[in-house]
Amino acid sequence: MRNSLLVSVAAISLLSAAGPAFADGRLSVLCGAEEPHCAALEAAFEAKTGIDVSMVRKSTGEILAQVRAEKDNPKVDVWWGGTGDPQLQAAEEGLLEPYTSPALPDLLGWAQNFASVASGQATGIYAGALGIGYNSELLAQKGVPAPQCWADLIKEDYRGEIQIADPNSSGTAYTALATLVQLFDDKEAFTYLVALDKNVNSYTKSGSAPIKAAARGETMIGISFMHDMVTQKQAGFPIEIVAPCEGTGYEIGGVSIIKGARNIDNAKLFVDFALSPEGQGAGAAAGMNQVPSNVNSVVPPEAPDITTIKLIDYDFATYGTAEYRTYLLGRFAEQVRVIE
């Protein structure tokens, strides 16, 4: 372990010292995180290495669809950020390139476990818990009680007042879907989702869109990741954050190299940088509040403390498979709603 750690530290130090020596070539990245996070990491990596990065932000469901469509002629080198379930599905389908970064021994246990589940084809970069966020001003105006549990959200008090993303396009919403099935069981979870649908005014494309809409006063309640809620609260919006009383699921954001990547060496450098304290610090500098995976990274002071939240034992090995994704999305379309 000590030798591995020394190798890891030496490798990251080498990257830090090398600078523009790695400037040869380009890199294409699909980013599943928030736009400011994507832009901050892109700028930090370009400044560090001199490599010209082309980064495009998409929801994780869209990224998975693109990677699948381009499997015979990949146009992207790296998939960074967003919920990890779709990356696990891509790994299962042989769409990713195995790569063990020298930074791996420096990562927290949940990030290393994620890499193990992915058979070394993806690695955890950050974690964040799913929650309920509400606009306290709208809540007071309408004179309804603050939700505290998942069960509260199906009450008539919130008819037409909730937004959640589309699980077909959003990793956040897929995490919510898989969370409810694990919290309850299939039958009870889908009975709940049918009831919840009556209170949903919109299924958004992006997982952070519901809490942004709540912040703007366009909806009372948004179901999103808590770190995205913190960002809105920090910006001065009247958002209150709730960890559901029954328990909640969480994401592990991932980074992976696309199989057949044209710029494989630069892709490996990007993964190493994304797993380093410097790379993970780019998110905090941009106002993002996920919990980083590297033990040496600085945790943003406002990041939700996931050690104090009642988390379910989220089964990434099962719900990160293509089989379960297809099954859950199929049942959602059949029993809850077909989203155009």
Is 211 found in the same domain as 192? Answer: yes
Helix (H) or strand (E) holding 228: helix 226-234
Amino acid 21: pLDDT: 34
Is 283 found in the same domain as 199? Answer: no
d(CA 88, CA 118): 6
Is 206 found in the same domain as 267? Answer: no
Is 299 found in the same domain as 274? Answer: yes
Paired sense of beta strands 291-292 and 250-258, if any: unpaired
Cβ neighbours for 306, distance < 8 A, ≥ 6 positions apart = 127, 128, 129, 250, 291
Q: Three-class SS of residue 298?
A: coil
Amino acid 339: pLDDT: 82
Is 189 found in the same domain as 146? Answer: yes
pTM of the predicted model as reported, rounded to 2 decimal places: 0.87
If you count them, how many residues does the chain have?
A: 340
Is 324 found in the same domain as 202? Answer: yes
Say if 205 falls within a structural domain. Answer: yes
Amino acid 24: pLDDT: 61
Domain of residue 175, residue span: 129-249+320-336
Say if 11 falls within a structural domain. Answer: yes
Is 192 found in the same domain as 141? Answer: yes
d(CA 140, CA 125): 38
d(CA 20, CA 120): 28
Say if 6 falls within a structural domain. Answer: yes
Say if 187 falls within a structural domain. Answer: yes
User: How many domains is the chain built from?
Assistant: 2
Instruction: Encode the chain (340 residues) as per-residue pLDDT tens digits.
Output: 333 333 333 333 334 433 333 446 899 999 999 999 999 999 999 999 999 999 999 999 999 999 999 999 999 999 999 999 999 999 999 999 999 999 999 999 999 999 999 999 999 999 999 999 999 999 999 999 999 999 999 999 999 999 999 999 999 999 999 999 999 999 999 999 999 999 999 999 999 999 999 999 999 999 999 999 999 999 999 999 999 999 999 999 999 999 999 999 999 999 999 999 999 999 999 999 999 999 999 999 999 999 999 999 999 999 999 999 999 999 999 999 988 7
Residue 170, domain CATH: 3.40.190.10
Is 121 found in the same domain as 61? Answer: yes
Is 152 found in the same domain as 104? Answer: no
Say if 263 falls within a structural domain. Answer: yes
DSSP 65: H
Amino acid 224: pLDDT: 98
Is 228 found in the same domain as 136? Answer: yes
Q: What backbone torsions phi and psi does residue 242 show, to the nearest 5 degrees? A: -125, 130
Is 142 found in the same domain as 56? Answer: no
d(CA 146, CA 135): 10
Is 298 found in the same domain as 267? Answer: yes
b/e code 190-213 from CB counts within 10 Å (16+ = b): bebbeebbebbbbbbbbbbbbbbb
